[in-house]
Structures are given as structure tokens and as C-alpha cells.
Amino acid sequence: SYVLTQPPSVSVAPGKTARITCGGNNIGSKSVHWYQQKPGQAPVLVIYYDSDRPSGIPERFSGSNSGNTATLTISRVEAGDEADYYCQVWDSSSDLWVFGGGTKLTVL
Amino acid sequence: EVQLVESGGGLVKPGGSLRLSCAASGFTFSSYSMNWVRQAPGKGLEWVSSISSSSSYIYYADSVKGRFTISRDNAKNSLYLQMNSLRAEDTAVYYCARGADYGSGSYYVYWGQGTLVTVSS
């Protein structure tokens, strides 16, 4: 089955740029979606189709996808961005949704 | 305003059954795919099952296939998850989530707040 690999944690200082990766075999050929989840809350979609932002999501959030790695980039990081982030793809060869293991973003 | 409200969670013994419901409002329920996602305590998100808008396409994670059944009632704006032969490892918060369109392969735009299922003797 298809596997998505994320780093367990990423730390960044306020105002800097955070990059969270999501690795998968030829993931560049798939559409990647990203979700943010704060403690005790339901997930929130922050990026869909690799790089599109839903309404209400700040422009500081962006995404890219190529080769074997998709990346969620958060610019000018704020304390309120501290959360767990999950990547997701639809594996059409198996008709299965796959989530990455999640990355905890810590704002120093 | 889109709302998804899960219910039906609780404590159940191993081998037991439970039926989760998700009441939807604020959108045309029959036009969108729906999904169940779970999260074990302190763990990440795990996809459970998806159903297309007309129930024509249904998919399950290998971990629940043969034990769980997803269904929907478009007349009642409701999504269901029948869970049988429950195991300790099924303990989790179960979220329902709405897809972006009618197909099961569309990303999840809206999520409910979840309902906790605990499987323990």
C-alpha cells in the first residue's frame, strides 16, 4: 500500500519560514492535500490540490509537489500556527485514502 | 453554515457493535461524498471509509474491511458507520468529513467535531 512519510516534528522561530515535507513514491503524480489540527480540535483543510488555498486560509500557507516530495510552506510563522499538520493523497491504484503520520510544528 | 454533528460513540466491549451517525446541515447533502476518519488517542489521522454522493462507490481501509459498513440516507441528510466485531485498536475519536464534490476521491472540506469510541472490557 502507498505510504506517506512526514518528519515527526519541525521547530521554527516566529517570523521565520517553516517547511513540512511529505514523502511518497512518485508523489508528484498525485494530488496532495494538507490539514492543520490544533489540540482538541477537528482538522482544518489548509492546502488542496498541491498548492490551492481554501478561502479563509492566509496567503502565508503555500504548497508544492514534485518528484517524491510534497512540501507545505508556512511563511512568517506565528504562534497560532503551532499545530499538527497532515498530508493526504488518494491512491487511485488501490482506491484508498492515505494520510501521512503527521508533523508537529513547534513555534519557538 | 455547514455543520456536521457526529453521535453514537461510547464504551463497548470487545466483539461488540456500535452505530455512529453524522447529521449534516447547511449544504445539499446528496451532492457530496462523505467520509469517516478516526484518530486513536495521541495518534495521527487514519482514514476509515468513504461513500460517494449516490452511494455508488464505497471504499474501506483494510483495517476495517469486513467489520465496518458505511451508509447514507440522503433524505435524512445523514451518514452512518455500522461497526461490528470491535477491537481495542478501534478505540478512537471518529470524525465525519464532507468531500469537495460528489466523488469519493475528493479532499475533505468540512469536518465534524468527532465522537469518541472506546472498546474495552
Helix, strand, coil share (%) of chain B residues, nearest 5: 5, 50, 45
Is residue B121 classed exposed, middle or buried when 0-12, 13-18 and 19+ CB atoms within 10 A define those classes?
exposed
Question: What pLDDT does B76 receive?
Answer: 98
Residue A66 has pLDDT above 90, yes or no: yes
C-alpha–C-alpha distance, residues B75 and B65, integer Å: 26
Q: How far apart are CA B29 and CA A48, in angstroms?
A: 21
pLDDT at B101: 85
Q: How many CA atoms lie within 13 A of B26 on its CB side?
A: 11
Q: If you average pLDDT over every residue of chain A, what do you get?
A: 97
What is the pLDDT, as a whole number, of residue A19?
98
Q: Check residue B10 and give its pLDDT.
A: 97
**Residue range A65-93: mean pLDDT, rounded:** 97
pLDDT at position A87 over 90: yes
* For A47, nearest residue in chain B (alpha carbons): B107
Under the banding of pLDDT at 50, 70 and 90, the label for residue B98 is: very high
Averaged pLDDT score across all residues of chain B: 96
pLDDT in the model for residue B47: 97
Measured CA to CA in angstroms, residue B60 lies from A105, B26, B45, B47 at distances of 30, 27, 15, 8
Say yes or no to pLDDT of B105 above 90. no
CA distance B44 to chain A (A): 6
**Residues A25, B98, A61, A78, CA torsion sign:** negative
Q: What pLDDT sits at residue B102? A: 80
Closest residue to A102, CB basis, from B37, B45, B109? B45
**pLDDT above 80: residue B104:** no
pLDDT at A29: 96
Give the per-residue pLDDT at A70: 98
Poorest-confidence range of A97-101, B76-80, B100-104?
B100-104
pLDDT of B89: 98
Average pLDDT for B92-114: 92
Distance CA B104, CA B99 (A): 7
Contacts 24+ apart (CB under 8 A), A46-54: A46/A72, A46/A85, A47/A72, A48/B100, A48/B107, A49/B107, A54/B109
B60 CB-side CA count, 13 A: 13
* CB-based contacts of B27, cutoff 8 Å, min separation 6: B2, B98
The pLDDT value given to residue B103: 78
Compare CB distances from A97 to B47, B95, B100 and report the shortest one's residue.
Answer: B47
* Facing residue for A92 by CB, picked from B61, B97, B105: B105
Q: String of b and e for A76-95 (b: at least 16 CB within 10 Å)? A: ebeeebbbbbbbbbbbeeee
In contact, B97 and B29? CB cutoff 8 Å: no
Return the percentage of chain A with pLDDT > 70, whole number.
100
Q: Residue B106's pLDDT is what?
A: 87
Mean pLDDT of A47-62: 97
| B39-73 confidence digits (pLDDT tens) | 999 999 999 999 999 999 999 999 999 999 999 99
B59 neighbourhood in chain A, CB within 8 Å? 95-97
